[in-house]
Structure 1
Amino acid sequence: MTADALSDTLRQTGLRHGLVGFGVCSVEPFGAVRSEMGRRIELGLAGRPRFTYTDPVVATEVSRSFPWAERLIVGSVAYLPAAGTPGPAAPDTGRVARFATVDHYQPLRTGLIAVARQLEESGHRSEVLADDNRLVDRAAAVRAGVAWWGKSTMALAPGFGPWLLLGSVVTDAVLPVSTPMVRDCGTCVACIPACPTGALDEEGVLDATRCISYWAQTPGFIPRDIRRAWGDRLYGCDDCLEACPPGGRLAEGAGSMNGRIDLVELLERSDEELMDTYAHFYVPRRDARFLRRNALVALGHNGTRRAIPVLIRYLESPIAVLRGHAAWALGRIGGKDGRVALERARSIETDPTVVDELEAAARLSEGR
C-alpha cells in the first residue's frame, strides 16, 4: 500500500470510529511553542507547573519520548451536543464544564485506537496520546490542519469552534503531511471580555493564575478574588468557549439538561463515592477535599438556608482548607445561624489562615 493510500485508509478508519477531524504532521520540535511556554513560566503566567508545563521540552519534542517517530496523526472529537447544557443557575446547585460531564475522552480514544490498530496491521509502530503530558496537543492539531489557534488559547475548527478534544497517534509510517488551516480569529475578541476573572488580558495569552478552571484543579486555598468571580461552578469554566462565535451553532443545539449537581448532597457523600462518581475529573492527588472545597465556594454564591447546616458542620472539619472555605460561604450567605457558628468557630480555631477566613467571613456576614 502506498503512503497516500494508507493515509486515506487511516482517515476513513478514524472518521468511521467517531473522529470529526483528521490530519498528519511532522514530528519536528514545536520550537515556538516551547519558547512561549518558557516565557509564560518565567512571567508566572503558568501557575504551578503541571500537565505539559511539567516538562515543556518533552511536551514539544516528540522524539524525546518516541525516538522512532516519523509522524503524528492528529484526531479530534466534538463533545457537543452530547454534553448538553447545565441550564440556568438553581439554588444549592453547581455546574460542571461541558467537557467533563462524562469522560468525553473515551470516544476520542476509541477513534485513535482504531487508527493505531490499522497502522499496526499495516506493519507500522504506533502509540496513542490522548490527554497526555508528552505532547502539546493543540500545537500538533494546528500543524496538522485540524484546528487553528484561537485568541482564547483554545484550538478552534470550522463548524465546531472550541468544543473539541484532541489527541494523536505517534507512528513510524512516513505519511504525507496535511496543510495547516489558513484561518484565524480575525478581529473577533469575544472571548476576552467573557472571562469572569480577566485571565485573558492579552490576545492568545492565558494567565493561569487568574483562571477558574486552573484553580478548580489546584490544591490549597483559592484566592478570595477568584472566589468572588467563581459563580456556581463546581469544576471547569466554559465562559470563553460559550462566547466563541464559531462554536455558537453547536452550543445552541445542545439542549439536553446535563452537568448540574446538587452541592448539599455532594458534600454529604463519602470520599469514596465522590472519587468513584467523578473519576474522570482531574482532582489534585485524587483527594476529595478539593472537590468539596469547590462545592463550598459555589454554595457561597447560590447557597440557601438549606445549605447552612452542612456548612456549619464543615466548620468542624479536621481539614483546614474545608473549614476556611466553609467560613467564606457562610459569610456570603449570612443569617443569624451562620454568624453564631462563625463566632463559635473563631473562639476555638488555631490555624492562622482559617482564623483570617473566619474573621473576614464575620465581617462579610454583617447585615446579610
Structure 2
Amino acid sequence: MKYKQRKKALILLADGTIFHGKSIGKEGTAFGEVCFNTGTTGYQEIFTDPSYFGQIMVTTNAHIGNYGTKDIEVESDDIMIAGLVCRNFSFEYSRPGADRSLEAFFDAHDKMAISDVDTRALVRHIRDNGAMNAVISTDVDNIEGLKKQLADIPDMNGLELASKVSTKEPYFYGDENAKYKISALDIGIKKNILRNLAKRDAYVKVFPYNAKFEDLEAFKPDGYFLSNGPGDPEPLVEAQAVAKEVIDRNLPLFGICLGHQVIALANGISTYKMHHGHRGINHPVKNLETGKGEITSQNHGFAINREETEGHDDVDITHVHLNDHTVAGIKMKSKNVFSVQYHPEASPGPNDSTYLFDQFIENIQNN
C-alpha cells in the first residue's frame, strides 16, 4: 500500500496518564470509559456489540484489521464503541472472503481509532487502577483543554445507556410460522442471540427498552427474554418491572448479561461496578449443576452481589467464574427463570454454552 502521513494522537486517562500513538484516519476527539478485550479474534463482533456503547476499546491482541471485515459479521447496524486503541493496525487484509478493510469500516461509521500505542503498558495500568473515563484525540497540543472536557464526562457508575442502543419500534425476527413465540426486551440485543433463538424454531418480537409487560404479553409469547446491553443495570426500572411481572406470573424467562443483572435486581439482589470488568473470549466458568467447565465470552463491567445471592431463599447460583468466583449464572427455585453473565451465542468454546438456548426452549415446553 502507499505510505500515508498519519497524524499524532494520544489517549488521556481521567487520572492524567497519557499514552501516545497515531491516528488511523478520522481526526478529532472521542470520549468514553476505557476498557480492554483480550480476544485474539472477533474484533468486528466486539466493535458492533451494543454492550460496548460508550466505551473506548483497547485490544490486547497486537494486530488488528489483518482479516478485514465482512458485512454479515456484525452484532448491530453500527460500530458501538466510542473509539479504538490498538498496537498494530493493518490497513491491508488477507482474507479472501472479506468485504472491505477495517479502516474503510471505521470510515463508513465515522469512528475514531488510534494505533502505535503501548497497549501492554496501557492494559497493565487499567488492571492496576481500574476502568476509568478517557479521551482519544488528534488534538495533541491541547492537553489542558482535553482534561477539562474529560472532567465533564459522566461516570459509568449509575449511567443508563440502554436507551441509546435499543430499537425505537418493535420488530420481528425469524419465521412467523415457527413453533414458539418469544418476546424479547431489547436493552442492547446482539443479532446472534436472535439467530440462535430462530434456529430453535422461535419467532421473536423485539421490544424497546422501556416497553411495559403488557406490551410484551400482547404478542402472546411462550417465553420472555432479557438481552445484554451497556451501562449500569440499576437505572433500568422499566426493565426490572417487566422482569418482576414475568417472575410473579411464573412464565419462562431467560436473561443474558445485562438481562441477568436486571433479573437479579428484580429479586432484590444488588449489583456493583467491577474494578475493570470481564472482557474476552476465554473466561473459564464452572457449571455447578453439571460440574463441567465452559470457555465463555464475556463483556461486562457490572456484576451481581454474590453474598446476597447466596443468602436469597429462592435463588440458586448455577455458574461461577473460576478466576474471581463472581456469579456467572443463577436460577430461581420456585419460578421458571434463569440467567447467565456471559454470552452463549458468541461460541468461543465453541459450543460449550449453546445448551442454554436449548434449556430455554425446554423450559418453554415444560411450562
Tell me the TM-score normalised to structure 1 length.
Answer: 0.26
Name which one, 1 or 2, has greater alpha-carbon Rg: 1
Which structure: greater strand fraction? Answer: 2
Larger relative contact order, structure 1 or 2 (CA cutoff 8 Å, min sep 6): 1
Which structure: greater helix fraction? Answer: 1
Tell me the TM-score normalised to structure 2 length.
Answer: 0.26
